[in-house]
């Protein structure tokens, strides 16, 4: 009999159960995705230069665990909400409380188990897709990359089994504790909006203070690597509790102010406000974790973008030419001619003696050598701009002014490929010496392009560098000179972080989307009747859609604002790791906010569809 009823429930409420199920599967998948990376120690250590990276990921995993826990708890309550009326009815007709609560436990547990299995598969799929697409997109091949990690998998399984059992147990407790009448009146009772009194004001102030403290800890301790572990945990705890208190008090305040204002009297505004206050308490927790996810996603993306954007700039700063080709072949020349946005191409001749490289001075008068002026302050390498390229003739190369001495570096960099011991070797610029030497003439071509990461340049430069390395084995260990060579090396150093930034951003965004969508859509059933009543009373379709869109908009705006504040003030945390943590902020904001807006529209559309469907 009980199973028959359970099957019937699935039949009639499958849409709701589907939302629930999708939510569970996605959260499992994201946890799997994160665990796979977090527990891949070889990958983490091989791809970053940061010593504490493993600790950071352990903390990250705990944080995600916490977020998932709150989410699952919420999902669980939704399940109970779906079932409790029925359980109440059954009990009223004399069903045994114990068997009912056992049934609910089994339901919770099995639903969890199925989503665990499916979530793991989805997680592996997401890891493959996100991992491979990203590496391809960023032009990286990261060593030790895995799509399955046994430790990560075991942690995922254990974690979810524990949480599902716990939830099942809590459900059992809830059913046992709650009287039948309450069960039958599920979702009917209101929580009144708390008053905006002194207590609420103080809560808000405490929230703001905690948030500010968390930013101070991030900028002063985490950024400087002081007690990094404790500092990170402290920052997170302060930030979460601050966010929670702030959301709680500001929402209460805003709702009360709006309710009091005469503006709220017209149209469906009071209805929207009522809806929001009715769910205020449930929203506080969910909005806190959504805010957290928003900030994490935006932060991760900003750091990833930061590396992506700043490495070409750093590379540009490192050398006034993009690449140098020693002894260019016909093919090389042809490739060079295909480069786009070329600032200059210059070819020089030299002769290689045992202890020095001799350059014909006259050629530098014809084709001056590019260089950067050395900057006066030490900090200048921290600026995000690329200095102007200067050109110097033979005289300047031989006797450079103090501010022009980097011209010698350009000269030294030109012929590294043909000289295994280039550092100890001297470079002489002398027309006469060049003329009398019997050594064969060698040639080197240097090119500068405006953009070396865009196509087709990236592709061409890659080919050029590859043939050079093949021809001159020295380069295999030394790397190609010039800005392009620097870019390749920094990819090895920063590529891992860049990748992790993007990977985590995707994971957090999916989790955010799932949480928010779940929270919003879990209300459809309750709302449907309310919107029907509104129809009956004379609200036009447009008014109804607007009321609904507004309600959802307010829910969406809270994490957006606080999340952005979190990132803007939290970014200094990465000062030790990157030159300018803010460099990727604008573009990341653009990406995430457009995604978020699109997602908002989608949510409203789905909501409307679901409201309509139920009418039939």
Binding site for other proteins (CB under 8 A): 185, 187-190, 192, 262, 265-271, 274-275, 277-279, 529-530, 533-543
315 or 539, CB closer to other proteins? 539
- Enter the tokens of residue 473: 């084995």
198 or 263, CB closer to other proteins? 263
283 or 574, CB closer to other proteins? 283
State how far the alpha carbon of 282 is from the alpha carbons of 73, 80, 326, 416, in Å: 12, 15, 67, 66
State how far the Cα of 219 lies from the Cα of 573, in Å rounded to an integer: 5
Q: Which residue intervals of 218-268 are DSSP H helices?
A: 228-260
232 or 255, CB closer to other proteins? 255
Backbone Cα Rg of the chain: 32
Q: Is the dihedral of CA 383, 389, 390, 392 positive or negative?
A: positive
115 or 193, CB closer to other proteins? 193
Contacts of 573 (CB under 8 A, 6+ apart): 218, 219, 222, 223, 235, 581
Residue with tokens 């003329």: 435
Could you give the dihedral angle defined by the CA atoms of residues 467, 473, 479 and 484, in that order, rounded to the nearest 10 degrees?
Answer: -20
Residue 60's CB is within 10 A of a number of other CB atoms, namely 19
Minimum Å gap between C-beta 262 and other proteins is 4
State how far the Cα of 282 lies from the Cα of 555, in Å rounded to an integer: 12
State how far the Cα of 4 lies from the Cα of 10, in Å rounded to an integer: 10
407 or 524, CB closer to other proteins? 524
Angle (nearest 5°) at CA 540 between 523 and 614: 35
Minimum Å gap between C-beta 553 and other proteins is 17
Q: In what order do the strands lie in the sheet with 426-429?
A: 323-326, 441-449, 342-352, 356-359, 426-429
Minimum Å gap between C-beta 290 and other proteins is 21
Strand pairing partners for 391? Answer: 370
4 or 616, CB closer to other proteins? 616
DSSP reduced 3-state for 377: coil
Minimum Å gap between C-beta 201 and other proteins is 23
Minimum Å gap between C-beta 558 and other proteins is 19
41 or 270, CB closer to other proteins? 270
Q: What is the 3-state secondary structure (H, E, C) of 316-339?
A: HHHCCCCEEEECCCHHHHHHHHHC
DSSP reduced 3-state for 265: helix
Q: Is 402 exposed, middle or buried (0-12, 13-18, 19+ CB in 10 A)?
A: exposed
Minimum Å gap between C-beta 529 and other proteins is 8
Question: How big, in percent rounded to 5, are the helix, strand and coil portions of the chain?
Answer: 75, 5, 20
State how far the Cα of 384 lies from the Cα of 317, in Å rounded to an integer: 9
336 or 539, CB closer to other proteins? 539
Stated as kind and residue range, the H or E segment containing 412 is helix 406-414
190 or 476, CB closer to other proteins? 190
102 or 259, CB closer to other proteins? 259
Stated as kind and residue range, the H or E segment containing 344 is strand 342-352
State how far the Cα of 414 lies from the Cα of 434, in Å rounded to an integer: 17
Stated as kind and residue range, the H or E segment containing 429 is strand 426-429
Minimum Å gap between C-beta 247 and other proteins is 20
Minimum Å gap between C-beta 83 and other proteins is 20
State how far the Cα of 400 lies from the Cα of 503, in Å rounded to an integer: 47
Give which of 215, 218, 216, 280 is closest to 254, Cα–Cα: 280
423 or 542, CB closer to other proteins? 542
- Residues written for the chain: 616
282 or 577, CB closer to other proteins? 282
């Amino acid at each position: 009999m009980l199973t028959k009823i359970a099957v019937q429930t699935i039949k009639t409420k499958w849409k709701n159960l589907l939302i629930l199920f999708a939510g569970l599967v996605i959260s499992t998948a994201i946890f799997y995705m994160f665990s796979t990376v977090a527990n891949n120690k070889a990958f983490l250590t091989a791809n970053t230069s940061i010593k504490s990276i493993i600790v950071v990921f352990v903390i990250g995993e705990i944080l995600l665990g916490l977020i998932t826990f709150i989410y699952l708890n919420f999902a669980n309550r939704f399940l109970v909400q779906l079932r409790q009326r029925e359980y109440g009815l059954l009990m009223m007709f004399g069903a045994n409380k114990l068997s009912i609560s056992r049934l609910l436990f089994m339901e919770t547990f099995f639903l969890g188990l199925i989503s665990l299995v499916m979530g793991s598969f989805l997680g592996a799929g997401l890891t493959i897709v996100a991992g491979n697409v990203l590496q391809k997109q960023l032009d990286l091949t990261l060593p030790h990359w895995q799509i399955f990690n046994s430790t990560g998998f075991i942690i995922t399984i254990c974690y979810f089994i524990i949480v599902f059992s716990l939830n099942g147990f809590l459900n059992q407790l809830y059913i046992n504790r709650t009287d039948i009448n309450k069960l039958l009146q599920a979702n009917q009772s209101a929580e009144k909006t708390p008053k905006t009194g002194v207590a609420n004001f103080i809560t808000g102030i405490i929230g703001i203070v905690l948030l500010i403290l968390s930013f101070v800890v991030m900028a002063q301790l985490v950024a400087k690597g002081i007690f990094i572990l404790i500092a990170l945990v402290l920052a997170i705890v302060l930030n979460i509790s601050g966010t929670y208190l702030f959301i709680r008090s500001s929402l209460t305040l805003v709702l009360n102010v709006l309710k009091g204002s005469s503006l709220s009297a017209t149209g469906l505004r009071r209805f929207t406000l009522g809806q929001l206050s009715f769910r205020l308490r449930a929203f506080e927790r969910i909005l806190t974790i959504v805010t957290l996810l928003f900030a994490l996603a935006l932060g991760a993306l900003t750091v990833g973008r930061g590396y992506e954007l700043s490495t070409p700039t750093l590379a540009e700063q490192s050398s006034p030419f993009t690449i140098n080709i020693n002894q260019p072949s016909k093919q090389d020349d042809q490739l060079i001619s295909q480069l786009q946005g070329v600032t200059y191409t210059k070819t020089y001749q030299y002769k290689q003696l045992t202890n020095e490289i001799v350059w014909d001075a006259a050629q530098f008068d014809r084709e001056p050598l590019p260089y950067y002026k050395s900057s006066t302050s030490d900090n200048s390498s921290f600026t995000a701009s690329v200095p102007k390229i200067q050109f110097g003739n033979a005289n300047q190369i031989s006797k450079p002014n103090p501010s022009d001495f980097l011209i010698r570096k350009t000269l030294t960099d030109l012929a590294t490929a043909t000289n295994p011991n280039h550092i100890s070797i001297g470079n002489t610029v002398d027309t006469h010496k060049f003329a009398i030497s019997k050594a064969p003439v060698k040639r080197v071509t240097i090119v500068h392009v405006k953009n070396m990461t865009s196509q087709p340049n990236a592709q061409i430069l890659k080919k050029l560098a590859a043939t050079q390395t093949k021809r001159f084995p020295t380069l295999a260990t030394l790397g190609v000179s010039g800005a392009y060579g620097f870019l390749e090396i920094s990819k090895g150093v920063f590529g891992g972080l860049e990748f992790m930034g993007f990977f985590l951003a995707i994971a957090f965004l999916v989790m955010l989307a799932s949480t928010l969508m779940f929270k919003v859509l879990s209300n459809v059933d309750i709302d449907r009747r309310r919107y029907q009543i509104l129809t009956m009373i004379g609200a036009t379709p447009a008014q109804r859609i607007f009321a609904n869109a507004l309600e959802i908009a307010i829910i969406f705006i809270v994490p957006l604002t606080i999340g952005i504040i979190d990132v803007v003030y939290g970014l200094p945390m990465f000062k030790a790791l990157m030159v300018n943590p803010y460099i990727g902020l604008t573009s990341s904001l653009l990406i995430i906010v457009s995604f978020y807006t699109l997602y908002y529209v989608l949510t409203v559309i789905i909501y409307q569809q679901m409201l309509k469907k139920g009418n039939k």
